[in-house]
Each structure stands twice: as C-alpha cells, then as structure tokens.
Structure 1
C-alpha cells in the first residue's frame, strides 16, 4: 500500500520535471537552429518559481476553477500513464479513462479563459477547441486500433504485449496508426506548424493573455504535464514503453526531438489549414490502419 502511495506522489513530480525539461530544451534547440544561444534549459523552472512570487489578479470563480480543473485533469492523467514500470492506477480504467481525462484539459482552460472576457482569449479558445477536434479524431482511431489489436483497454497490458522489441510502430497492422499518431504529435503539443492557439504575433498568446502570477504558473505546470502525457502515451502504445524510467525517458527524448525539428523549420498553419491537414492524412492513415487491424483479427 505504501508503495502505491509513494508512486502517486512521485509520478506527478517526475512528469512535471520532465515536462519542464522538454519545454526548456525546446527553447534551446530552436535557438541553436536559428543561430542564437537561447535561454538556459532550466528557464521554465525559474519562470514558474518567479511567477508564484508575483501578484495575481482573478476575474471570478470560473477563472479560478477552470485552471484548477485543467491542472487536476493533467495530474490525474499522469497516474494512469505507465512510466518505466511505474503506474499507480494501472487497474482503474486504462485507456478509456485516459481518453475521458484528456477532454478535461481544453475544457478547463476554455471555462477559465471565457471568464477573462478578452477577445484574444476568445479567438485562442475557439482555435484550441477546433484544433482539438482536428487531432482527436485520428488520435481516437489510433487508440481504437491498439485496443482492438491487443484485445485490452489496459495501457499496462499493451506495454507488456510489446516486450522483446515487438513494438507496435513496427508491426504491420499498427504501423499506419503509429504514423498517424506521429503526425498529430506537433498539434497535440502545440508546436509549429500547429502553433495557432497562442500565436504571439497574432493574438498576443491567446488564452494566456489574462493570466499572471500564480495563475500563469499553474498553467505552465499544466502544460508541462500535458507535454509529458502526450509523449509518454505514444511511447507506451507504439514503442513498447520501457522496463525502467531511464530508458523510457530516452525514448521520449527521441520523439520530442523529432517534433522539435519540425517546429524549427515549418511556418505556422492557419486554423483551417491545420484542421484540413489533420482530418486528411492522419485520419486516413489511422482509419485504414484500424480497418486492417479488424481484418487481421
């Protein structure tokens, strides 16, 4: 029992640290590609600590509760993700619960941002919801293909079925859903060419424009957890997870670097271009892969 209690406490902390590391690494890699030095990798952690010491302004109860709902959804989601043999809630719903919890994050930010009554927030939230609708269709099809192929809704069982380098990404029925997930990863992470939600040059960071102090710090923490969850879920479903956290982290780094190379060289889509792309190629690949998986049963 005490082991589970320790895992429940340690898992969100590890996810937070890894997510902040990736956020700092993203800024450093982009700067280097652009021939700049860039900030230190620890800058996101420094920013979070600094923000908690600054004055905060609330716009009402929904403004506060939306941020808390989004952060709580991310923390709960981390507890269902296998991470190198650590999964505190492995027997409590599996992939179905993960799918439900992933809907809470954008809804929480939408509730909070709507209370801010800023036009830039409204534009950013509408873009976020449309983008979510764009990538959730191929994401759901890819997850359905995984559940159908392995005859389980447990993420832990999916990882165990891929032991011995029998990774789903390189097995015939699941290679297409795996490629579809790879294609939507930048959209799920908010990287270019899908950086339409914040778009600092257009809408002044969109949903973030009214956040300051502890509210912005909590949003940054939520984003760090979301980065961890998005990449870790791909590693679990298509790269077989790992037997220990170190090798799991190495796999996450490889996937994140692929996304960063795309982020550094591609311009930003318009929202209609982003949704059109997501509903075309990734959705087609995931759907065909699901059909092949059903036929191979």
Structure 2
C-alpha cells in the first residue's frame, strides 16, 4: 500500500504499536535493486511491520543535473516490493518532507568529513536532515541501511547516538553482482564498455586489502590500487583511503578494524565501494 501523507502513516503506526507490534523502516530513494531488497528481507525477518520509504531527497544532491537524472521508478519499485508483503510504501509528497517555511538543517560533524563529505559539500547534511524526518514520520524502532554507503551509515549511527533517538540502526552487507560490482542505482547509467570495466574498482580494493592484512605499507599499497583502478578503465579516482571502521579516523597502518573506501568515475558515473579489513 502506497502512502503519501504523514498523517495516515502515523495512524497506521500507532495502531501497530498499540497491538504490540515492532516496526522497521528501510529508507530508500527508489530505483530499487537487489541490494535494497536484501534490506527489506532483513527487516521482514526481524520486524512485525515493515515500511519502505521512497523519496529522492534534493538536499543530498550537489548537482541539479544529477538530481534530474536520478531514476524515478515508483511503479517498478512497488512491483519489486510486492513479494515481500511490506506493510506500507511511504512515498511522501515533497511538501510533506520540506513544507513551506522549512528552516532546519541537521549536521553531523566528524564522521561526515573527508571521503564523500569532502567532494559533496552539504550532502551529509541533506542525509542527516531527511533521515531525521523519516525516523520521526515512521516511528520505527529499527532502520536498515546498506554498508556500501559506509560513511552514510556512520553518519546515521552518530546522529542517532548524539540525539538519543529511539531507533536501532542495522547495517547490512553490500550486495554485489557476480563479477564483484557493488549494486547501485547508478549502475544503470553505465554504458556497455563502462559496465564491463567497472569491477576493476572492487578487484583493486580486494588486492589492496589482502596486501594490507599481510603487512604491506599503506601508502605504496594505496598508490598501486589507485593505479590499478585507472588502468582498469576509470577516468578518475576521487579518493582511496584506509579509515578506522569505528569513527572513520584516517589510518597509516592496518592495526585495528578498518575499511578501505573509494570513489571513482567511469563513463561519467561516480561509483563508490568499500571493503572491510
């Protein structure tokens, strides 16, 4: 069932909670793929009621062109969700999220800095603001996010901890194609040649991760990985960094749980990925 207004959604949630039922939410921007559906599956397994939100959030786009080009596939998305029997698909009208006079911005420092935060100014403010809204609108006790957007996941966790929000954040593993490419709504924008070359990013991360775990020095290992990504067909490596898994502090050696994170451009499309050491 598609719901577009906050009032009717809250009526549903109140009724569920009166019946003692737990509520999970999977926030998305639509253009659903198997990665999103794995989050829905996880929510369905753990919660009595599941809400999937679909909202293309203008505040987390840095480019009007990128916002305009983002795929909007509501009918297809609803069909993909049908087998999961979700209890509500919340597709809020824009004025439900950002009504006239809206003047609040939620900003999370620290974990939002560097990586995507350095290259997409204001992006994580947009994420934190809309996630705060969606948590308030849905009243969910659990929220499900993919680890592919690992910095985003850390921003949301910090937001919830700092503001004492009563929602548990569940991070779910990245879902990949058979050739290793992380699933992303942006993959649909790759032409045939770019799609064939795109797995070079994951291969380079794998090779670098194995080297670092074996004790290789960080700087030359990352330099070799960057070169491999470019040689594999990418036009630009925006960043490739080793960060602590908890807190995302930059690391000069792999001496604690860490993530190798990268963003790179191929065929005019920006792809991100990460791998845990």
Structure in which a larger fraction of residues adopt helix:
1
TM above 0.5, yes or no, is: no
| TM-score under structure 1 length normalisation | 0.27
| TM-score under structure 2 length normalisation | 0.28
Structure in which a larger fraction of residues adopt strand:
2
